[in-house]
Structure 1
């Protein structure tokens, strides 16, 4: 079968790979849609230190069950499903503590192991989530939104709080949805007018142009600063802005990660008595929360999907995203299972 394969930085091509067969406890899934993730873009750019080449990318998955191995219960051929694409060791401190999303030995599909940008994948049955009553394409939005929902849970957002979201890419939009679900007033900041329009359409109360002057624009809305700032860019400027802009005794959560060390004035950590937290991947509870939210807001997918392309056109779309990242929020690749 055909697959998209990143063979080296800057080169993605269509290749032939073997069709997998499910073993005991495994499920074969005919892939219908896969969303391009920011990690796929960094792999294409040669900036993902976790990736070796060649690599089939893709871990935002929508598909249908094609076959089940022996010992699998609760799943049947033809069911619409998505996949929890993180593979944890089950033995490290994070796994033992009930946080497999932060596994020290984690392997994510499309990053440390082969991904889903192909016709069929086989995964353990425990990684498969059946989804009912949603458009098949939108199942591929569940995983990236779940990363945002997890960040909101890490921030312990409560009803009535104000949340500033720095960055309105797909993860940032997931954060917006998760914060709205928690009852927060959301302020979204980004450099892209188009992404701010999407954030507003999803329910952000205010949208602000990022960059220099953001602090003044924000203080005009919330003079004491927001209760929570969630950073979803992964840039030095926004890492520093997060602690500068958050209210005294507020919480900062980082989802993006900067590619180089950052120098902080650590005095502000103490004078504001801040809670500063990281957020990684997502847990099954986050996936289920997203499924509930997207089921109740069926128009959200149309707001965030920028383009849908065929597998044959996927290399071109990846290069276009590389050249103009601000022009795209979510690129979907449609495969044979659609």
Structure 2
């Protein structure tokens, strides 16, 4: 079978691998659609410290069950599924705390272990999820949207609050949609008017292009000078890390889901004076997946606008190269494997 391999930084190619065979407790999948993640882009650029090379990317997956190796539950051939891409050790502090999404020894598909950007794959049956009624495009969007939804959950977003979201990529859009679904007034912040338009379609009540508008003034107007109750940072820049702390309300919550690529210096008085809750957000829980599935079923997420580029397996290497060359033009790339 064919698969995509990031061989080393700035080198991606199609490779041939043996067809996989499921063992006991495993399910054989035909891969239908895989979304490229920002993590895959970082891997291609050589900027992902969690990755060793070569690496097959792919953890945003829509697939069809082909069969199993026995002892795999009630999965039937022909069922459409998505894949839960994380592992948990069950023996670290986070697992004991009931938060396996941040397992100390987690291995995400396509990051610490090979992913599923291939024609077929074998996965443990416990890592499959049903989402009846969703298309392949929607199934492949569940995971990235869920990472954003988990950030909203970490922020304990409540009805009536004002929530500001920095960054309107796929993860930020998931945070926007989830916070709006919880009844918050969402302020979407980006430097790209096209992405802000998508954020509005996801439920943002206010959009701010921070390269053109006075962000502090806009947030002040939206909150009667208090600042947003929750700020979710989904960009990963030192300036947005700092802005989250500076702009959030007193007694507010800041959630970091982006990764800053360099150390961040703060004016630490705001941590204490505002008595802030500053929370990290990593991956997602099964409950977050279910909430996003329900949002997609209800038509609350404009999937055709989020997926800005579609390609085939044969052209997947070039699509990754093109994304790296012009990242601002892309919100989400889907590789339609089954159509290749």
What does the per-residue CA deviation read over 1:20-41, in whole Å, with 9 as the maximum and x for residues that have no partner? 1111111111100000101000
Query: What secondary structure sits across from 1:23 in the alignment?
Result: coil
For residue 237 of structure 1, what is the aligned residue in structure 2? 239
For residue 258 of structure 2, what is the aligned residue in structure 1? 256
d(CA) in 2 for partners of 1:53 and 1:38? 17
Asked whether the equivalents of residues 202 and 301 of structure 2 are also in contact (C-alpha less than 8 Å), the reply is: no
The reply to whether residue 47 of structure 1 matches residue 47 of structure 2 is yes
Query: What secondary structure sits across from 1:107 in the alignment?
Result: coil
What does the per-residue CA deviation read over 1:18-74, in whole Å, with 9 as the maximum and x for residues that have no partner? 211111111111100000101000000000001111110010000111111211112
d(CA) in 1 for partners of 2:188 and 2:41? 23
Asked whether the equivalents of residues 219 and 227 of structure 2 are also in contact (C-alpha less than 8 Å), the reply is: yes
Query: What secondary structure sits across from 1:108 in the alignment?
Result: coil
What does 1:167-316 align with in structure 2 at a 5 Å threshold?
Answer: 167-211=167-211, 213-222=214-223, 223-297=225-299, 300-316=302-318
Asked whether the equivalents of residues 177 and 300 of structure 2 are also in contact (C-alpha less than 8 Å), the reply is: no
Asked whether the equivalents of residues 201 and 301 of structure 2 are also in contact (C-alpha less than 8 Å), the reply is: no
Count residues in correspondence: 338
What does 1:1-338 align with in structure 2 at a 5 Å threshold?
Answer: 1-211=1-211, 213-222=214-223, 223-297=225-299, 300-336=302-338
Asked whether the equivalents of residues 200 and 207 of structure 2 are also in contact (C-alpha less than 8 Å), the reply is: yes
Asked whether the equivalents of residues 60 and 142 of structure 2 are also in contact (C-alpha less than 8 Å), the reply is: yes
Query: What secondary structure sits across from 1:315 in the alignment?
Result: helix
d(CA) in 2 for partners of 1:95 and 1:298? 32
d(CA) in 1 for partners of 2:210 and 2:27? 44
> 1:298 and 1:31, CA in 2 relative to 1: closer, same or farther beyond 3 A?
farther
> 1:337 and 1:109, CA in 2 relative to 1: closer, same or farther beyond 3 A?
farther
d(CA) in 1 for partners of 2:41 and 2:91? 31
Query: What secondary structure sits across from 2:226 in the alignment?
Result: coil
What does the per-residue CA deviation read over 1:109-159, in whole Å, with 9 as the maximum and x for residues that have no partner? 000111011111111111000110111221000001111111111000011
d(CA) in 1 for partners of 2:232 and 2:153? 11
For structure 1, the residue ranges without an aligned partner over 5 or more in a row are none
| TM superposition score normalised by structure 2 | 0.97
> 1:277 and 1:127, CA in 2 relative to 1: closer, same or farther beyond 3 A?
same
d(CA) in 1 for partners of 2:134 and 2:164? 29
> 1:337 and 1:323, CA in 2 relative to 1: closer, same or farther beyond 3 A?
closer
d(CA) in 1 for partners of 2:202 and 2:88? 33
d(CA) in 2 for partners of 1:284 and 1:68? 23
For structure 2, the residue ranges without an aligned partner over 5 or more in a row are none
Cα distance, 1:10 vs. partner?
0.6
- Aligned-residue RMSD, C-alpha: 1.3
